[in-house]
Amino acid sequence: MSAVVPTREQLQQQLDDVRRRVASDEWNPKNYDELQRDCRELGIHATGPSLSKEIGTALCELTPEHFKPPTLECYDEPHGAELYRFVWQSAVLNAPVYFKYCIHDDVLWIFSFHRQRLDRGD
């Protein structure tokens, strides 16, 4: 378990990598059905590469300042890699958005991409 918070530069590099992977449709959802449902709630009705384009457009708004430090839940993750969380007010989606992912074995896993849910601590 790592307690080291990434630097702004590290976060920026990782965000650039995440955006590149999403734009290239090189990512996997933890749960595709859940991701589809959450995206529909945000007004995204695309699938496949079109879904990557829609998510990627919103991710272009992310900056290191939107990073939320890990919680204990972020360390108890099935792939054995740290989860990274971001929350921001998306102008593209006109909603507060919560995004959680990890990169494990050179694969981007998207765990959450949905409207921020304050009642769940997102």
pLDDT in tens, 16-71: 999 999 999 999 999 999 999 999 999 999 988 899 999 999 999 999 999 998 76
- The tokens describing 13, both together, are 């590099």
State the Cα–Cα distance between residues 82 and 60, nearest whole angstrom. 22
CA distance linking residue 96 with residue 91, whole number of Å:
9
CB 62 within 8 A of CB 15: yes
Quick one: pLDDT at residue 5? 80
- Asked whether residue 24 is domain-assigned, the answer is yes
Q: Is residue 1 part of a domain?
A: no
Q: Is 3 part of any domain? A: no
**Helix intervals (H) in the chain:** 8-23, 32-41, 48-59, 72-75
* Segments forming the whole domain that contains residue 15: 8-120
34 within a domain of the structure (yes/no): yes
Q: Residue 99 in 3-state DSSP?
A: strand
Q: Is residue 18 part of a domain?
A: yes
CATH number of the domain within which 23 lies: 3.30.2310.40
CA distances from 107 to 1, 41, 119, 122 (A): 20, 26, 30, 24
pTM for this predicted structure: 0.88
Longest dimension (CA), the chain: 37
How many domains would you assign to the chain? 1
2 belongs to a structural domain: no
